[in-house]
Structure 1
């Protein structure tokens, strides 16, 4: 699995986030599950395909995606709108 950056402390189940799958597009949604306990390196799995991704995110467009720390940012604009 690729190196993952440390996730900001605000990324928790229920947080509004932006998912970055490539440099040009982002999608907004809500974190619905944290699979940190299940994430392990590819070496520990004995394979390098089908890695477990840490976060399950329900996107605003209705899709469910599974992403790693490096693909996720807290949606600070949503936090400002909520008065945080």
Structure 2
């Protein structure tokens, strides 16, 4: 799955240090910047959300290990290089 990054000209790749951008639906207690490292890129496995028949719980592309030990996921546009 990591080979797809080189074909997409995407600056974020497995192993990149990133800042996770909080979504508008984030809990107020979880608004601090979160930094970590990208563990996996699921671009080849991501299903078009319109194929799911729902608009809640969208499929996420990136798996990130945060510095505080948590594992989170993020959609395209949900990360910035740190």
Q: TM-score, normalised by structure 1?
A: 0.69
Q: How does 1:1-80 map to 2 (within 5 A)?
A: 9-22=10-23, 25-75=32-82
How many equivalent residue pairs? 69
Cα RMSD over matched residues? 2.2
Structure 2 unaligned spans of 5+: 1-7, 25-30
Looking at secondary structure, tell me which structure has more strand per residue. 1
Structure 1 unaligned spans of 5+: 1-6, 76-84
Q: TM-score, normalised by structure 2?
A: 0.71
Q: Contact 2:65 / 2:71 at 8 angstroms: preserved in 1? A: yes
